[in-house]
A and B are shown apart, each in its own frame.
Chain A
């Protein structure tokens, strides 16, 4: 596609529920990144994929967070047993392999009530 697409753009859920956030990267970009951004702060790294494999998941805060990219294109960020502190904008970015110029999507705003 022309840009990085993220769905849903907004998600409101209740504490304890399961949430999935989807990212469609730019066609041909083999690297995919997830970031989380809380209000008033810069993006915080969560996980990075090179192809289908997670090359660096050091930013995932705990085992409630998990991400997959089974075919090396679309990625899904999964959050189990959501907590109010998970409320944030979740940003996805993609790039060509070895490149440092990231193209970001508009983000998915998650609100946990």
Chain B
């Protein structure tokens, strides 16, 4: 799996958009970008994934650059409950097997 690089920590004001970056400069053409988050004392939770087009669901939006070497997860209106560790992972879709998690970004949403 391609290696990803994320900032260690970020702060965001409640109600504002949280933009979490991820670098994956060695991503291969068949690899998707997946995002998970882990709230304290819980298991990681799937958020969203994409290949090259921007994606949006009820939780977040995913913006992938045209060269696919980086992406940004956007939480449009962060709440205190969005405080968590966010993990960016790249791997081929349809190929079940291990996903490699890094240390993620700790997002703290402040009132």
Could you mark each residue 38-53 of chain A with 1 if its beta carbon is under 8 Å from any beta carbon of chain B, else 0? 0011111100101000
Cβ of A12 < 8 Å from any Cβ of B?
A: no
Closest-by-CB residue of A relative to B100 is A45
Cα–Cα distance between A101 and B34 once the two chains are bound (Å) = 8
Tally of A interface residues using CB under 8 Å: 30
Indicate if the CB atoms of B101 and A44 lie closer than 8 Å: yes
Indicate if the CB atoms of A42 and B98 lie closer than 8 Å: no
Closest-by-CB residue of A relative to B41 is A106
Indicate if the CB atoms of A48 and B101 lie closer than 8 Å: no
A-side contacts of B91, CB under 8 Å: 100
Cα–Cα distance between A56 and B27 once the two chains are bound (Å) = 22
Cβ of B53 < 8 Å from any Cβ of A?
A: no
Indicate if the CB atoms of A98 and B43 lie closer than 8 Å: no
Q: What is the minimal beta-carbon distance from A39 to any residue of chain B, in angstroms? A: 11
B-side contacts of A59, CB under 8 Å: 98
